[in-house]
C-alpha cells in the first residue's frame, strides 16, 4: 500500500508560495482516454494513434506489486540509504529546512530525483521492462535506448508547476528524432494534485521557441490552451508522449502525494547535435520573437 499522506507529514509549519502562473494555463475540457490490457494490449492501431496524436495512455501498464517495488526503491534512495546516490533536489521553498525535518517530512520536501536507475534495481526494473521496451520499439521502428531517468515527485502542497514545454528543447538530438517520454504514475495522479497536461497533435507542429521564464519553457501566451487535455492516471498507469508534444503540469495544491517516474528513450540509430545547434532551433536569440 502507498504510505498514507497527511498534511501533518507535509512539511512543518511552512506556507507554500503563492501560485506564480495564470490558473487558466491548465484549464481543460478534455480528459485523455487510455487503453487497458497492459503492454500486451497495445495494437497496431494504438501505435498509429501515437503517431497521429503524439501520445498513448495505458491505464494498467504496471501491476500493483511493480508499483510498490518502485515506491520502495524510490523511498530507499530518498532516505539516503545508498550514500553514493546524491541526485536529489528539494522544493526551493523547503530546501533550507531539510536538515531539521524528520524522514517523512524530508520525503515530502523533495521535488525531483534523477539518474537513479544505476543505483536502484527496483527502479531499473521498470525502465527495462520487456513490455515497455516492446511498445517503444514498435513506436520507433528501432531499438529504444534509455538516455534520461528522473522522477518529479510533486510533494503535497508544495509541488511546483512544470511549465509547458517540448522535451526536445532540452536534448541535443538531431531534429526529427523520435524521442519518446514515458511517465509512470506511482500514486494516483489527478488534475488536482498536478498530473500531466498535453496538447494532442502539437508534435506535428514543429519545434517551438523556448524562453527562460519560470523554467526553460514555451511562452505562456504561445500555448494553444484551448486544446489542453488532462491525463489523470491510476497508480501503474503510464503515458507515452512524443518529444515535440507540448506538455506541462500545474502545482500540487492538495495534501496528496504525486510521485511518478519519467524515462526518455531515443532510437539506437539517432545522432547527437551540439548545444548551439539545439539553441539555433529552440532559443530566441537573434529571432524576432517576444514573450
Ligand atoms: O512530472 C511532471 O509533472 C512533468 C514532467 C515533465 O514534463 C518533464 O520533466 O519533462
Q: How far is CA 91 from CA 66, 159, 215, 270, in A?
A: 27, 7, 14, 34
Pocket test for ligand 1, best of 249, 250, 261 (most atoms within 8 A of CB): 249
Where in the chain are the domains?
30-282
Q: What is the dihedral of CA 42, 43, 46, 51, to 10 degrees?
A: 110
167 lines ligand 1 (CB under 6 A): yes
Angle between the 44-53 and 130-140 helix axes, to the nearest 10 degrees? 60
pLDDT at 12: 53
List of E strands, 207-275: 210-212, 216-218, 229-231, 238-242, 247-249, 260-267
Q: Which helix (H) or strand (E) holds 107?
A: helix 103-107
Pocket test for ligand 1, best of 153, 248, 256 (most atoms within 8 A of CB): 248
User: Which residue owns the Cα nearest ligand 1 atom 1?
Assistant: 152
pLDDT at 288: 94
260 lines ligand 1 (CB under 6 A): yes
Taking the centre of ligand 1 as the mean of its atom positions, its distance from the CA of residue 264, in whole angstroms, is: 11
pLDDT at 115: 98
Taking the centre of ligand 1 as the mean of its atom positions, its distance from the CA of residue 153, in whole angstroms, is: 10
Show the cell assigned to 234: 491510476
- DSSP for 16-75, please give it: PPPP-S-GGGG--SEE---B-STGGG--HHHHHHHHHHSEEEETTSS-HHHHHHHHHHHH
Query: What is the CATH number that goes with domain 30-282?
Result: 2.60.120.620
Nearest atom in ligand 1 to the alpha carbon of residue 181 is: 10
Displacement of CA 227 from its chain's centroid (Å): 19
Taking the centre of ligand 1 as the mean of its atom positions, its distance from the CA of residue 196, in whole angstroms, is: 7
What is d(CA 286, CA 291) in angstroms, rounded to the nearest whole number?
14
pLDDT at 15: 85
Nearest atom in ligand 1 to the alpha carbon of residue 196 is: 3
pLDDT at 249: 98
Please tell me the pTM assigned to this model.
0.94
247 lines ligand 1 (CB under 6 A): yes
220 lines ligand 1 (CB under 6 A): no
What is d(CA 119, CA 84) in angstroms, rounded to the nearest whole number?
8
249 lines ligand 1 (CB under 6 A): yes
Taking the centre of ligand 1 as the mean of its atom positions, its distance from the CA of residue 81, in whole angstroms, is: 26
A 10 A CB-CB count for 204 gives 13
106 lines ligand 1 (CB under 6 A): no
Residue 38 main-chain phi, psi, to 5 deg: 55, -160
Q: What is the pLDDT along the chain (291 residues), one digit of tens a residue?
A: 444 444 444 455 678 888 999 989 999 999 999 999 999 999 999 999 999 999 999 999 999 999 999 999 999 999 999 999 999 999 988 998 898 999 999 999 999 999 999 999 999 999 999 999 999 999 999 999 999 999 999 999 999 999 999 999 999 999 999 999 999 999 999 999 999 999 999 999 999 999 999 999 999 999 999 999 999 999 999 999 999 999 999 999 999 999 999 999 999 999 999 999 999 999 999 999 999
Taking the centre of ligand 1 as the mean of its atom positions, its distance from the CA of residue 152, in whole angstroms, is: 6
Please compute, for residue 46, the number of CA atoms within 13 A of its CA located in the half-sphere on the CB side.
Answer: 20
152 lines ligand 1 (CB under 6 A): yes
User: Which residue owns the Cα nearest ligand 1 atom 7?
Assistant: 248
pLDDT at 13: 63
Amino acid at each position: 500500500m502507498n504510505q498514507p499522506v497527511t498534511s501533518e507529514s507535509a512539511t512543518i509549519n511552512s506556507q507554500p508560495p503563492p501560485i506564480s502562473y495564470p490558473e487558466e494555463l491548465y484549464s481543460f475540457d478534455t480528459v485523455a482516454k487510455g487503453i487497458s490490457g497492459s503492454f500486451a494490449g497495445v495494437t497496431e492501431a494504438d501505435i498509429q494513434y501515437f503517431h497521429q496524436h503524439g501520445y498513448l495512455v495505458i491505464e494498467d501498464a504496471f501491476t500493483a506489486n511493480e508499483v510498490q517495488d518502485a515506491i520502495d526503491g524510490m523511498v530507499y534512495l530518498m532516505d539516503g540509504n545508498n550514500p553514493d546516490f546524491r541526485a536529489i533536489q528539494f522544493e526551493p521553498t523547503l530546501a533550507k529546512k531539510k536538515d531539521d525535518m524528520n524522514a517523512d517530512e524530508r520525503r515530502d520536501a523533495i521535488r525531483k530525483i534523477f539518474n537513479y536507475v544505476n543505483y536502484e534495481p527496483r527502479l531499473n526494473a521498470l525502465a527495462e521492462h520487456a513490455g515497455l521496451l516492446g511498445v517503444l520499439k514498435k513506436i520507433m521502428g528501432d531499438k529504444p535506448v534509455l538516455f534520461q531517468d528522473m522522477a518529479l515527485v510533486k510533494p503535497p502542497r508544495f509541488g511546483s508547476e512544470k511549465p509547458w514545454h517540448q522535451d526536445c528543447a532540452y536534448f541535443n538530438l538531431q531534429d526529427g528524432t523520435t524521442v519518446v517520454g514515458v511517465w509512470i504514475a506511482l500514486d494516483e495522479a489527478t488534475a488536482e494534485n498536478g498530473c500531466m497536461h498535453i496538447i494532442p497533435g502539437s508534435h506535428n507542429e514543429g519545434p517551438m521557441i523556448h524562453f527562460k521564464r519560470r523554467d526553460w519553457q514555451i511562452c505562456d501566451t504561445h500555448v494553444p490552451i484551448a486544446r489542453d487535455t488532462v491525463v489523470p492516471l491510476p497508480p501503474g498507469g503510464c503515458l507515452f508522449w512524443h518529444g515535440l508534444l507540448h506538455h506541462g503540469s500545474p502545482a500540487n495544491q492538495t495534501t496528496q502525494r504525486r510521485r511518478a517516474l519519467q524515462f526518455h528513450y531515443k532510437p539506437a540509430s539517432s545522432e547527437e547535435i551540439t548545444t548551439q545547434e539545439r539553441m539555433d532551433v529552440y532559443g530566441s536569440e537573434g529571432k524576432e520573437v517576444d514573450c
